[in-house]
């Protein structure tokens, strides 16, 4: 069973940057879309950024222009570069990879932005 392992979360001041990584423990075939989601306390999980296998990228309006999703197929890794962080970006961030046959989720990594 493939597992997704996230890293790179932490505490940062407003205006700072973080880079999240999500590494798959094995090869995932027939990937449809890879993405990042987040869930703040008391709120529903929301899409942050997604990228299809055809490189179509989508961002939530709240992060557009500040966050960038990318991937390294050779390393089975997807990244989220987060710049100009705001306190409202504070949440647990989850990696997601959806293939034709499976829908994988990481365990989540906490991002806290102080004002």
* Residue 41, pLDDT score: 92
- What does each of the 115 residues of the chain score in pLDDT, given as a tens digit? 899 999 999 999 999 999 999 999 988 888 899 999 999 999 999 999 999 999 999 999 999 999 999 999 888 899 999 999 999 999 999 999 999 999 999 999 999 999 9
CA dihedral 25, 35, 63, 10 (to 10 degrees): -20
Q: Are strands 46-52 and 31-39 parallel, antiparallel or unpaired?
A: antiparallel
Matching residue, tokens 């050779």: 74
């Amino acid at each position: 069973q493939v597992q997704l392992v996230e890293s790179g979360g932490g505490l940062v001041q407003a205006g700072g940057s973080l880079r999240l990584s999500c590494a798959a423990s094995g090869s995932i075939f027939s990937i449809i879309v890879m993405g990042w989601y987040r869930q703040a306390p008391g709120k529903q999980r929301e899409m942050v950024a997604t990228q299809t296998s055809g490189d179509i990228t989508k961002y939530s309006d709240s992060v557009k222009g500040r966050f960038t999703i990318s991937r390294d197929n050779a390393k089975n890794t997807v990244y989220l570069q987060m710049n100009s962080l705001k306190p409202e970006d504070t949440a647990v961030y989850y990696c997601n990879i959806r293939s034709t046959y499976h829908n994988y989720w990481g365990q989540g990594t906490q991002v806290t932005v102080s004002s």
